[in-house]
Structure 1
């Protein structure tokens, strides 16, 4: 089974202390590969700053909608698509509600289904919550208190989208938390907990 993991920095494996990227033995995608064994193949497609449909004027190529179709073609056949996006959509510059972000996710799903040359199973994951104070001085000024509230409402909206498209659903915030270091990224423990939850979800 070919499994495409499409997400942002928490799929990429960004280290909360800004030192780079967790290695394959630490990030959840690598851990999931180990759990599944050699009969399944994990395809890592995590990109820092990736959104569902919003354009980042400071960084090119961050709209998931623009690349999901290309990736499904280039990695064909994809048997399972795991989508975990939404954290970056909570940035203040986009001024988007959880409902609007969910509509963006729906566009990504629709594009994926239209573009893939093969039918695939879908797992929608709502991201971990932005921790309190993520926008405080010394942390990330792209977020504020409003961003925190929006992130708290994503799971409810994403679950509706998953049901609409007959997809599996997992709330990452129910199993893992943002690191205390930067209040937005998974630490090593978070990656391990998420890998375990995803493994259970896709094998049961």
Structure 2
């Protein structure tokens, strides 16, 4: 919590990339290694980063193998519990590429239209203004490195198409758009999670949208 009453409040909503999963140790990057923590340090005391990341979280799909991972189901409650918010950063989509969901990149992107509705409803409930929303397109995965038991066949090519689809939807619904793929490296161990150094690059890229 930032006790500065004038701090700009930023909700970072995502999956394990926001949680900060360290695939080398199978634990979590520490606060100053995660992109959220680096962003907080970069922005300073006049900003408050609210971290909300969960491994396996999807955009709007129930996962029969992982309970509580439907991102949309929790999102509105999350926003309502954190209002007022000045900015919401959403980084989701990689988990939607699991083959059991049979999703196209366009379908993944279209799910964020529901997020706009959820934000509007939360803001109307508390009579607060609609925040700036930054939709972030996730990294391109290295399918050859992804463990077979994750069942992400075809995810490599689909992940390459997400940026275009996200940008299109963002423009249509009034969200800002950021593509982190050009500035990050995924792990050579599992092909999906971030190399530690990429957290710095994400924070630097997002700070340009906020300062």
Counterpart of 1:101 in structure 2 is: 108
CA contact (8 A) 1:126 1:154 kept: yes
Q: Which whole-Å CA distance do the structure 2 matches of 1:79 and 1:35 have between them?
A: 17
- For residue 173 of structure 1, the aligned residue among 178, 181, 187 is 181
Task: Report matched runs for 1:11-50 at 5 Å.
Answer: 11-50=18-57
CA contact (8 A) 2:17 2:53 kept: yes
- Displacement, 1:106? 1.9
Counterpart of 1:196 in structure 2 is: 204
- For residue 76 of structure 1, the aligned residue among 76, 79, 83 is 83
Q: Which whole-Å CA distance do the structure 2 matches of 1:52 and 1:28 have between them?
A: 20
Partner SS for 1:197: helix
Q: Deviations over 1:24-48 (max 9, x none)?
A: 0100000000001011100000000
Counterpart of 1:87 in structure 2 is: 94
- The TM-score with structure 1 as length reference comes to 0.93
Counterpart of 2:132 in structure 1 is: 121
Q: Which whole-Å CA distance do the structure 2 matches of 1:105 and 1:140 have between them?
A: 28
Counterpart of 1:150 in structure 2 is: 158
Counterpart of 1:133 in structure 2 is: 144
CA contact (8 A) 2:98 2:153 kept: no
Partner SS for 1:141: helix
- The TM-score with structure 2 as length reference comes to 0.90
Q: Which whole-Å CA distance do the structure 2 matches of 1:200 and 1:163 have between them?
A: 19
Aligned length: 200
Q: Which whole-Å CA distance do the structure 2 matches of 1:37 and 1:15 have between them?
A: 25
Give 4+ residue runs of structure 1 displaced > 6 Å after superposition: none
Partner SS for 1:61: coil
- Displacement, 1:170? 0.6
- Root-mean-square deviation (Å): 1.3
Change (3 A) 1:140 1:42: farther
- Displacement, 1:145? 4.1
Greater mean deviation of Cα atoms: 139-148 or 62-71: 139-148
